[in-house]
Amino acid sequence: MNQTSALKPSPPALLRWSVLIFISVAMFGNYYVYDSIAPIADLLKSSLGFNDEQIGLMYTVYSIAAVIILLAGGILIDRFGTKKTTLAFGILCTIAAIVTAASPDINVMLAGRVLLGLGAEPLIVAITTALAKWFKGKELSFAFGINLTIARLGSVAADNSPSWAARFYTNWSDPLYLAVLISLACVIGAVLYFVLESAAEKKYSLGQAGQTDKFVLSDLFRFSASFWFIVALCITFYSAIFPFRSFAIKFFMEAHGGSREYAGFLNSVLPLSAMVATPLFGILVDKIGKRSLLMMIGSAFLLPVYLLMVYSDVSLFVPIMMMGVAFSLIPAVMWPSVALIVEEKRLGTAYSVMTLIQQIGLAGFNWLIGRTNDVYAAGPANPAGYAPGMWIFSILGFFGLFFAYMLRKTETKSNGHGLELPKGMKD
């Protein structure tokens, strides 16, 4: 079979980019469904009597399910291949959207979010693996960038849906049924990819993606202090960003009197800024190095934003733009830095550990912020009730800055890994 494959030509560029577009469309639907709860958080509370803890649980159970499925690594993808698993997990995402919209019962909605966690995260892994198979040795980095840009458009579309789909926002359920329709992109994109790859396998030689990331427990004891400082920054940074986004639209409306449309736009600034600025920051880092220093700068930008939103009269656009800088800069530096610190044979374990711990943090803090909002009666009648949650985010920002400082302190020693050098190359 290997000899036969060697005689086949590589797939043409048009075919490769068609595959990229189709699987990215599946990612678009995935991201939209995940972010479809935030724009209706206040409607769930006013129409169904949900509290913020229950709203937070919708994100928490997703992350718990994600942790469970991530522990399995790429076993299913290795066994059944990317085209079958992409289709299966894409279908599961649509089923999850249907279950979430089907009933006003909180337990049914939570079940839907569990299904989404079980489908969405392995769908991302399967699509990442497919990209590696189709683009390895070609335009892989650029293909990943395009894929992530299209995926993040799903978040932008969900945040801004009160504007472009205003007629759906007369009740709590119609926006979720809209999410069901958009979730079909997960299936349509996966089906088109399945058809293209099935046809391509007969005519062209497709690359091997290699093994997907698997968790290897013994490797945990071999990682350096620098790696664990990055992991600590990862959990504090993402726990300060995504749980905020879970409640941000509701917060902007109830604490600042913003319209649903404007609140959604403000929340969309983060993925919008990341789509544009993250690749640019990546280019900058490759040229100048200074990775741990830039992570400190990004953490410093994040530190004051939450308190500005509750204790100052400054336009909300100012702290949101500061948060956008951090959300673009830190990921652009943090994830590639791991590849400079960890040897290649254990890189899969390293990224798996980071992703697992990140999801654990998201599970805990989505619930904690919701619970804190309830304890302090946060709402339009008591905007000050949001302040304790903002203090939690600010404390996370402080710890993020601390871990970035410790990383820089470690990396500027003689036994550093070259994070401060251009291209990460030591002399």
Residue 1: inside a domain, yes or no?
no
Q: Name residue 137's amino acid.
A: G
Residue 6: inside a domain, yes or no?
no
Whichever domain contains 37, its CATH number is 1.20.1250.20
Residue of 232, 371, 395 lying closest to 306 (CA atoms): 395
pLDDT at 427: 43
Same domain, 41 and 190: yes
Q: Whole domain around residue 330: which residue ranges? A: 216-427
Total structural domains within the chain: 2
pLDDT at 189: 97
Give the CA count within 13 Å in the CB-facing half-sphere of 161: 25
Domain boundary among 188, 212, 236: 212
Residue of 250, 281, 277 lying closest to 266 (CA atoms): 250
Same domain, 23 and 77: yes
Alpha-carbon gap, residue 211 to 129, rounded angstroms? 9
Instruction: Kindly report the average pLDDT of the chain as a whole number.
Output: 88
pLDDT at 340: 81
Same domain, 166 and 278: no
Question: Which pLDDT tens digit goes with each residue over 82-110?
Answer: 899 999 999 999 999 999 999 999 999 99
Same domain, 44 and 85: yes
Same domain, 145 and 255: no
Beta-carbon contacts of residue 108 (< 8 Å; ≥ 6 apart): 99, 100, 102
Question: Which pLDDT tens digit goes with each residue over 339-391?
Answer: 788 876 676 677 778 888 899 999 999 999 999 999 999 999 999 999 999 99
Ranking 139-143, 304-308, 315-319 by mean pLDDT, the lowest is 139-143
Same domain, 78 and 45: yes
Is the pLDDT reported for residue 32 higher than 80?
yes
pLDDT at 143: 81
Residue 146: inside a domain, yes or no?
yes
Is the pLDDT reported for residue 331 higher than 80?
yes
Q: Name residue 406's amino acid.
A: M
Same domain, 187 and 248: no
pTM: 0.86
Same domain, 368 and 330: yes
Over residues 52-71, mean pLDDT:
92
- Would you place residue 73 in the very low, low, confident or very high pLDDT band (cuts 50, 70, 90)? low
Q: Name residue 416's amino acid.
A: G
Which DSSP string do the residues of 60-99 spell out, in sequence order?
A: HHHHHHHHHHHHTTTHHHHHH-HHHHHHHHHHHHHHHHHH
